[in-house]
A = this chain, B = another copy of it.
Amino acid sequence: MNTRVKVVEKILSANDRLAEQNRARLDQHGVFGLNIMAAPGAGKTSTILRTIEALSPQITIGVVEGDTAAVTIDADKVIAAGMPAVQINTGGECHLDAVMLSGALPQLPLDQIDLLIVENVGNLICPAAFSLGTHANVLISSVAEGDDKPYKYPNIYRGIDALIINKIDLLPYVEYDLDYFKRGVELLNPGVVTFPISCRTGEGVDVWVQWLLGKMGRRE
């Protein structure tokens, strides 16, 4: 049991070292890095597309798409929106890590990019354990997933800098107690900023984008 703990520590610290290198590389190119995590189907790609729509052409956004399989559905959508994208196919692995991101960064024109968005693998568990070296971690929770997710997947709520609550256009059609949800979040991550949005209608995207620009040290 001790051996296992030691091995896990070694893997984590190797990942953390590489995450620091990723961060240094982003800083060197003046790129702000954003790691987006969520369950499958919460709207990671839709949020990225809405963010591109709101910020382009003033801000150039590069996207790294983490997928467990070879399909490039999400990367294709980003490229169709006029921004550079590269896919990391994890080959069945359930999360991105700093090594994978390190391999993807040279494939992007970092000197032309202001904001790098990393779309993590759709998973509420494993991605929480691996730093990538980005400047901010954001979680997207869809109201269609239910209001109990902070209570059930606490770890991923602890390490985030902002929380997007997506698909608020579905609120009239689902059983969802926003106060119960927010109490759970507050217990795990007191004061974390939340952005209720609808990628379908565009509602709330402007507030999210203003926060993001502030974090980037920019105002449009």
A interface residues, Cβ below 8 angstroms from B: 39-41, 67-69, 71, 73, 92-94, 121-126, 129, 142, 144-146, 148-149, 151-155, 167, 169-170, 173-175, 200
Count of chain copies? 2
Do A152 and B73 form a contact, CB below 8 Å, given A121-B125, A144-B142?
Answer: yes
* Closest Cβ–Cβ distance, residue A78 to chain B (whole Å): 15
Are A40 and B94 in touch, CB under 8 angstroms? no
- Residues of chain B within 8 A (CB-CB) of A69 are 151-155
Given A73-B148, A121-B125, 6 more contacts at CB 8 Å? A69-B154, A71-B151, A93-B125, A122-B124, A142-B144, A170-B170
Q: How far is the CA of A200 from the CA of B176 in the complex (A)?
A: 12
> What are 21 sample pairs from A and B whose C-beta atoms fall under 8 A apart?
A39-B40, A40-B124, A40-B153, A41-B144, A41-B146, A69-B151, A69-B152, A69-B154, A73-B151, A73-B152, A92-B125, A94-B123, A94-B125, A122-B124, A122-B153, A123-B124, A123-B125, A144-B167, A170-B173, A173-B173, A175-B200
Expressed in whole angstroms, the Cα–Cα distance for A174 and B169 within the complex equals 9
In the docked arrangement, what's the CA distance between A68 and B69, Å? Answer: 24
Q: Which of A40, A129, A142, A169 has most B Cβ within 10 Å?
A: A40
Q: Please, which residue of chain B has its CB at the minimum distance from the CB of A90?
A: B125
User: Chain B: which residue is nearest A124 at the CB level?
Assistant: B40
